[in-house]
Every structure is written in C-alpha cells, then in structure tokens.
C-alpha cells in the first residue's frame, strides 16, 4: 500500500512538473502618459526657444545667419575664404580655441578666458552644439552660434551659472587645428 501511494504521488508530481510556466503579470500597469507629456513639454520648449532665436535674427537683418543641419544658427564675425590651406577639423584633430557664452538677451554668462582651450574633436567631453560648431570652422575664424537649450546644456544646465533649458549665444574663435597623429604604424 505504501508503494502504491508513493507511485501515485510520483505520477502526480511528474504531471505537475511538465506543466509549462505561466507568464507573470505586473501588479500595477503604467501607461505611457508620462513619456507623452514629457515629449509634448519638450516640443513646446524647443518651439519657444526657436521663436526667440528667430526674433533675434529678424531684428538683425544686416547679419547673414546660416542654419546648421544640427539644429542651431550661426554667423561669421571673421570668415577665412582661403579654402586651400585651411580645412575644417576632423575626428581626432586637436583644436585650440576660445569662446564666450551669453544669454539670448546679451548678458554675459562666461566671458572669454585668458588662456585658449584645447579639444580633441569627438574624443573629449564638450556640449553638443559647440562640438558640432567647431567642425564647421576653419583656422582663424570667429563665429557666433545661437544654440537652443537642447544643443547647449539642456535640462540639467552646467550646474554652475547656466540653468535648466537656457538657450545661449556662443562666440567662438578657432586659433589652430592640429591633425591627429596616428602612432600605431610608425
């Protein structure tokens, strides 16, 4: 009799073990409403900032503003026309430059520093608008960029003087471009 009970229990356990697992569902379901609200809010912010920048450009009709495919506007304070000897920076090139940052109203946030800065193109950290703007410049040029906040310091700001979602104007001077040296094969 004991053998029969053990056999029946074994068959029962064997059948129960062969059952396929069932999916577990979350206790609470969240909709995508937060993401949808965030997208709508960010689109509204971008539209407002671009409208501010458009007003600045319309008010200054004597300046020839150019639109970047990267989502910002700029004009040349000093343009180098000699395209043979001057080239734009490429990936890995080290550029020597300086810049100042101000609000769209013209209030200085960061003045130009006394010492030029160096930056390895796309290899070091720099806010996206300036990183993309430097790639448009030639040695000796000075360019003024109008960056919406998402191309500047975005939602977080710079945690010092630039707050959340602040569009900026950056005047950049590119002093030198040094080609990347590749020591792997030398």
pLDDT in tens, 134-173: 999 999 999 999 999 999 999 899 989 999 999 999 999 9
Q: For the chain, which residues make up each domain, given as ranges?
A: 64-178
DSSP 87: -
In CATH, 64-178 is 3.20.20.190: no
Q: Where does the pLDDT of residue 9 fall: very low under 50, low under 70, confident under 90, or very high at 90 and above?
A: confident
Diameter over CA atoms, the chain = 104
Q: How far apart are CA 144 and CA 106, in angstroms?
A: 12
How many residues comprise the chain?
186
How far is the first Cα of the chain from the last one, in angstroms, to the nearest whole number?
Answer: 86
User: What confidence score (pLDDT) does residue 185 get?
Assistant: 44
- Taking 60 as the threshold, does the pLDDT of residue 96 lie above it? yes
Percent of the chain at pLDDT exceeding 70: 88
Distance CA 19, CA 28 (A): 26
41/35 Cα distance (integer angstroms): 10
- Mean pLDDT over the full length of the chain: 88
């Amino acid at each position: 009799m004991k053998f029969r009970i053990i056999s029946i229990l074994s068959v029962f356990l064997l059948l129960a073990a062969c059952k396929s697992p069932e999916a577990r569902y979350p206790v609470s379901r969240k909709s995508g409403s937060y993401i949808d609200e965030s997208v709508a809010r960010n689109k509204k912010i971008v539209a407002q900032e671009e409208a501010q920048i458009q007003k600045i450009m319309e008010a200054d009709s004597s300046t020839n503003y150019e639109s970047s495919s990267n989502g910002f506007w700029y004009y040349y304070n000093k343009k180098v026309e000699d395209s043979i000897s001057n080239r734009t920076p490429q990936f890995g090139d080290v550029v020597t430059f300086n810049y100042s940052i101000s609000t769209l109203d013209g209030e200085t946030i960061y003045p130009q520093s006394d010492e030029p800065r160096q930056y390895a193109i796309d290899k070091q950290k720099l806010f996206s608008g300036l990183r993309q703007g430097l790639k448009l410049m030639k040695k000796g040029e000075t360019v003024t960029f109008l960056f919406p906040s998402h191309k500047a310091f975005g939602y977080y700001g710079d945690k010092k003087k630039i707050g959340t979602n602040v569009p900026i104007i950056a005047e950049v001077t590119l002093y030198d471009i040094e080609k990347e040296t590749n020591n792997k094969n030398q």
